[in-house]
Amino acid sequence: MNAATAPASLAVLVVDDEPLARLRLRTLLGDCRDPSACVVGEAGDAVAAMALLPHHRCDVVLLDIHLPGTNGLQLAQALADLPTPPAVVFVTAHAEHAVTAFDLEALDYLTKPVRLERLQTALRKVQKNAEQRSEQNQATEADLFKNHVLIHDRGRAERVPLADILYLKAELKYVTVRTADRTLVYDGSLGEFEERHGHHWLRIHRNALVARHAIRALEKHHDPDEADGRGEGWALRLNGVPEPLAVSRRQLAAVREALGAG
């Protein structure tokens, strides 16, 4: 594997009250290759560990259980409450706490003296867990964009739920987004929006899309731009919107079908 494709080293915080134990772990971590690891800090107690975390990226804490003051199990609980909690791997001479450790969602439990192969296995678990969490976060973000549209308004960006949008209309250089109580500006095009969210929306005009759930009534409407020579056209009434929306002759049949289906 070349440097361009090699995975980033795992950032490790070592927490143990024995300096020799910390040195032993630091030496073993230096020999880890798949994945590799980088010690970003050492601490001899829980207070020192919590003080280090805000200043360093930390993927995993190698944590002894018997610490002065707050013990390792209590520290693991505190770590779990952080906004972005690191993974926890317990490293201890006492095997009797394993059940409690896994109840705290520790990824692994190593007994001293730690062997390189066993430490490497634990780090692989950490890496796999991080990859799974990243995939879950990406899926959540994708779902969020499926159900929202990003609107830029007066220097701020806002995600507006699709369920709140009643129609979109292209006007000059902009596409306006209309909800029951606001009119906002959408940066994309109607075509892009329709391609992404099309089955919930109905094209009623070359410049307008409406939410199918909001369709209320189709009525005669005087619209010189859509007139058939007699000054008569059609307009759609939507729930929650006082203004009628012109329907083009090309889209009239589709509107009638959607109205009937609704």
The pLDDT tens digits for 33-70 are 989 999 999 999 999 999 999 989 999 999 999 999 99
Q: Please work out, in degrees rounded to the nearest 5, the angle formed at the alpha carbon of residue 213 by the alpha carbons of 208 and 218.
A: 60
For 57-90, letters b (16+ CB in 10 Å) and e give: ebbbbbbbbebeeebbbebbeebeeeeeebbbbb
Rounded CA-CA distance 119/124 in Å is 9
* pLDDT tens profile 229-244: 555 789 999 998 898 9
What is residue 218's three-state secondary structure? strand
pTM above 0.75, yes or no: no
Cβ pair 151, 186 in contact under 8 A: yes
Rounded CA-CA distance 25/154 in Å is 53
Q: What average pLDDT does range 159-187 have in this prediction?
A: 87
Rounded CA-CA distance 38/25 in Å is 11
Q: Where in the chain is the domain with CATH 2.40.50.1020?
A: 154-261
Question: Domain 10-144 falls in which CATH fold?
Answer: Rossmann fold (3.40.50)
Cβ pair 215, 251 in contact under 8 A: no
The answer to whether residue 259 scores a pLDDT higher than 60 is yes
Q: Where in the chain is the domain with CATH 3.40.50.2300?
A: 10-144
* Residue bearing tokens 């494709």: 5
CA distances from 159 to 12, 156, 162, 194 (A): 36, 10, 9, 17
**pLDDT given at position 192:** 83
Residue 27 is inside which H or E element, if any? helix 19-31
Q: Please work out, in degrees rounded to the nearest 5, the angle formed at the alpha carbon of residue 97 by the alpha carbons of 94 and 101.
A: 125
Share above pLDDT 90 across residues of the chain, in percent, rounded to a whole number: 52
Among 3-12, 136-145, 208-217, where is mean pLDDT lowest?
136-145
Share above pLDDT 70 across residues of the chain, in percent, rounded to a whole number: 87
Cβ pair 247, 234 in contact under 8 A: yes
154-261: in CATH 2.40.50.1020? yes
* pLDDT tens profile 64-103: 999 999 999 999 999 999 988 999 999 998 877 777 777 8
The answer to whether residue 5 scores a pLDDT higher than 60 is no
What is residue 64's three-state secondary structure? coil
The β-bridge partners of 108 are 89
Higher pLDDT, 229 or 163: 163
CA distances from 189 to 193, 209, 262 (A): 6, 11, 27
